[in-house]
Every structure is written in C-alpha cells, then in structure tokens.
Amino acid sequence: MRLLHTSDWHLGRGFHRVSLRDAQERFLDHLVATAREEKVDAVLVAGDVYDRAVPPLSAVELFDDALHRLGALGVPTIMISGNHDSARRLGVGAGLLGRAGVHLRTDPAGCANPVLLADEHGEIAFYGLPYLEPSLVRTEFDVEHAGHAAVLGAAMDRVRADLATRPGTRSVVLAHAFVVGGEPCDSERDITAGGVAAVPVGVFGGVDYVALGHLHRCQSLSERVRYSGSPLAYSFSEADHRKSMWLLDLGPDGRPHAERIDCPVPRRLARVRGGIEELLADQALAPLADAWLEVTLTDAVRPADAMARLAERFPHVLNLVFDPEDTDHADGALGYADRLRGRDDHQITADFVAHVRGGRGPDDAERALLRDALETARVHEAAREATP
C-alpha cells in the first residue's frame, strides 16, 4: 500500500508580517497532485492541521477544499489533532466524514479503534493517537503519573492489545509528540511539563510504521519511525530545512520503504550577521535581495532607522535582532524580546525574579512554586482550547 505522510500544516499561520495563505494553498495543490500522480492509497496527516484552536475562515476553506479534492480522487485521508488544534472542533462530524473517506481521530478514548484499509496483501490497521495532554487524559488512561511517556505508553498498550486480535494485519500509528532523538526548532509550541515531554522511541514498539507530527524538521528516528516535518518554514531557525513529505510503500511483510517528496518553497530564507555598514556594503550578499531575511546587527549602539535602511537593499527583510559585540553596551542595546530569545518559561520567570530583587534569583522552594504556577497556567490554557 502506498501512503503519503505529512503533518504540521498550520493552516492560518503567517511568517512574521507576511501572509502564507497562498503558499499553503500551493502546498495543498502539490499534495493533491502528488496523491494523484503517485497513485497514493491514503494520506496521513499527523496533527497540527490548523495553527490555532479557532482558525480563520480562510484556513478552514483551504482545509475543506483539500479534503474535497482528495475525496474526488478516491483517496482516504486519516488525520489526528495536534497540540495547536482544538480536538473538539476538528473532530466535529467525524462519524459522517468517515463515511466519505475522511477519518478524523481526535478523541483519546478511540485510539485503539483503527481505520481498516486493504490492498492485495490484506488489511492494514491505522491507529490515530491525537495529541495527549497528560493532565487532561490521565484519568482516561488510568496512569498514576501524568507525563507524556506514561499516557502515550498507555495508549500504545491499547493499540497493541487490539492489534493482537488481528493476526497478520499490518499496522500504522499516527502520533503527535516529541520523541527522543528528534531535533526541534523555534516554531513549535513548547509542550514540556517540567522538562519531561520527550517520549522514548521504544514506546512505539510492535507496529510497522509510526507517522509522527509536531517537530518541523523532516527526520527519521528509525526505519519505522519518522517525522514528516512541516511543509513550510515557520521560523528562521528552519532556514536550512528541506521541506518535504514521506512517500511510503508498506510491503506485504510490513516493511516500509520511504522516499522524500519535496514541497514548494515560496521564498528562500536566510540569516546574516554583522554591523549595519558592513552588511549594506558587502557585495557578496547581493543574491539575498530576493530572500526573506533575518538580520542580526552587532553594532555596539543600535543604529537609527536600521530596518528602513536595510530594506532599501534587502526588500524582504522581515526580522531584526540586536546582538552587540561590545558587551559593555549590550544590556542597554538589546530589546526585551531579544533578551528573552532562547529562554523557556522557567528561565524567564527566574530571570525576572532576579531582576526585581537586584540580582538574587529564586531559591529551590521558589522555583518549585514558579514551576507549579506555570504548569497550572499551561493546563488551564489547554483545557480552554479543548472546550468548544
């Protein structure tokens, strides 16, 4: 059976101040064309269909159009909700859509109820594990410690138990998680809970292929466990990514053979660093005039009208970062957002405490209180997005 594995469409998302609607539409055109030309038997979408719980109408229209075109080709689509999606909203009408070949798996309780498709070698069971927020699903899976590894492990135990009742059936799991060995980037929403969000790849043992979503770089954790990555770059940290989908042939013995299908690139991404006068004069940078550009300025003092001056030479400059090489002036030159770059929520709150107390950071007890407060806020946010 031939499968097309993709994920992390993030429909409705922009890139800094640029709309990506046209680029997302071109990607979906490419996906449908690939499904037709490669005679794909099913499309797998491993979560984060939308960029936020309540997507804009334009994003919903893109989603609807893509499903109609895949349906017209007679290609079944199997998809799960990710941490950016509202599982309840995405799953509306799942039963009815399933009759039309669009199989939405957004309810954790149904993770062991497979979509069954068949080829000349027999049936393949497709299990959809939507993003599992540990604090919200621990009761469903009856786990003592609400961690990502625990709830995913419990979900996979259910999958393996069901698969054991189907001798000779090949199997595919769709999951949305941060699996150990995967390489993250800046554009994924943090799903850590006390720093223990990573799930061992061994959790997925016993199935023929695992189609992962969440991380935006296309990567293979093993022959049978792969991330497709996002079809478009959503941060400058993805400037060196090759955006693609996995075209997968699952043989009669369940052994997967995969190759990458490149996705359309709307515009090249690039990063440059240096003093403003140096960057404006360097002729070697001429090819970057057509690129979406992030510029890191190293001037000791923030140059006046820096963005306007850079835009005269680089019309598509989108992001400006200040990182003065003169450390004596660095604190004054850096903006607040720049000082926070690269820090997680725990570090930011600890730095704030140190700032307001004249350099004395939180002690162990205070750090524990801060972690509890951040975790409570994160769970409340997840619960709010899960509420229709």
Is 332's pLDDT higher than 60? no
pLDDT at 336 over 60: no
Residue 240's CATH number: 3.60.21.10
| Co-location of 318 and 348 in the same domain | no
**In terms of residue numbers, what domain contains 166?**
2-262
Neighbours of 345 (CB within 10 A): 17
Same domain? 211 vs 355? no
With respect to residue 74, please indicate whether it lies within any of the assigned structural domains: yes
Answer yes or no: is 329 within a domain.
no
Residue 354 domain flag = yes
Domain count, the chain: 3
Same structural domain for residues 278 and 151? Answer: no
**With 80 as the cut, is the pLDDT of residue 81 above it?**
yes
In a domain, residue 16? The reply is: yes
Query: What stretches of the chain show up as alpha helix (H) in DSSP?
Result: 21-37, 57-73, 87-90, 94-99, 134-141, 148-164, 276-281, 306-313, 330-333, 336-340, 345-356, 364-386
Whether 13 shows a pLDDT value over 80: the answer reads yes
- Alpha-helical segments (H) within 208-326: 276-281, 306-313
State yes or no: pLDDT of 374 exceeds 90.
no
User: 262, 284, 305: which is the final residue of a domain?
Assistant: 262
Crossing angle, helix 57-73 and helix 21-37, to 10 degrees? 10
What confidence score (pLDDT) does residue 375 get? Answer: 81
Are 301 and 249 in a shared domain? no
Residue 360 domain-assigned (yes or no): yes
If phi > 0 it is left, if psi is from -120 to 50 it is alpha, else beta; for residue 220 that is beta
For residue 299, tell me if it sits in a domain. yes
pLDDT-derived band at 348, boundaries 50, 70, 90? confident
Model pTM? 0.82
- Give yes or no: residues 32 and 120 share one domain: yes
Contact 174, 136 (CB under 8 A): no
In 3D space, the residue among 126, 120, 121 whose CA is nearest the CA of residue 98 turns out to be: 126
Do 175 and 198 reside in the same domain of the chain? yes
Domain boundary among the residues 322, 348, 366 is at 322
CA–CA distance, 363 with 368 (Å, rounded to integer) = 9
Q: Is residue 328 part of a domain?
A: no
Identify any residues that bridge with 248 across adjacent strands, giving them in sequence order.
Answer: 3, 258
Q: Is the pLDDT of residue 75 over 90?
A: yes
pLDDT at residue 345, as a whole number: 84
Residues 142 and 285 in one domain: no
Q: Residue 153: exposed, middle, or buried by beta-carbon count in 10 A (0-12, 13-18, 19+)?
A: middle
Is 50 exceeded by the pLDDT of residue 223?
yes
Residues 294 and 379 in one domain: no
Say whether both 254 and 355 belong to one domain.
no
Residue 329 pLDDT > 50: no
Provide the token pair at 100. 């039309």
Distances (CA, A) of 5 to 184, 280, 285: 19, 43, 37
> What pLDDT is recorded for position 192?
52
pLDDT digits 0-9 by tens, 19-67:
999 999 999 999 999 999 999 999 999 999 999 999 999 999 999 999 9
Looking at residue 354, what is its pLDDT?
A: 75
Determine the average pLDDT of the residues in 333-358.
70
H helix runs in 103-205, sequence order: 134-141, 148-164
Rounded average pLDDT over 64-87: 95
Is there a single domain that holds both residue 88 and residue 237? yes
Q: 250 has which bridge partners? A: 256
- What pLDDT, in 10s, does the model give residues 122-150? 999 999 999 999 989 989 999 887 789 99
In this structure, the answer to whether residues 340 and 374 fall within a common structural domain is: yes
Question: Looking at the structure, do residues 160 and 235 belong to the same domain, yes or no?
Answer: yes
Sheet holding 2-6, edge to edge: 102-105, 77-80, 42-46, 2-6, 244-250, 256-262
End residue of a domain, out of 233, 262, 291: 262
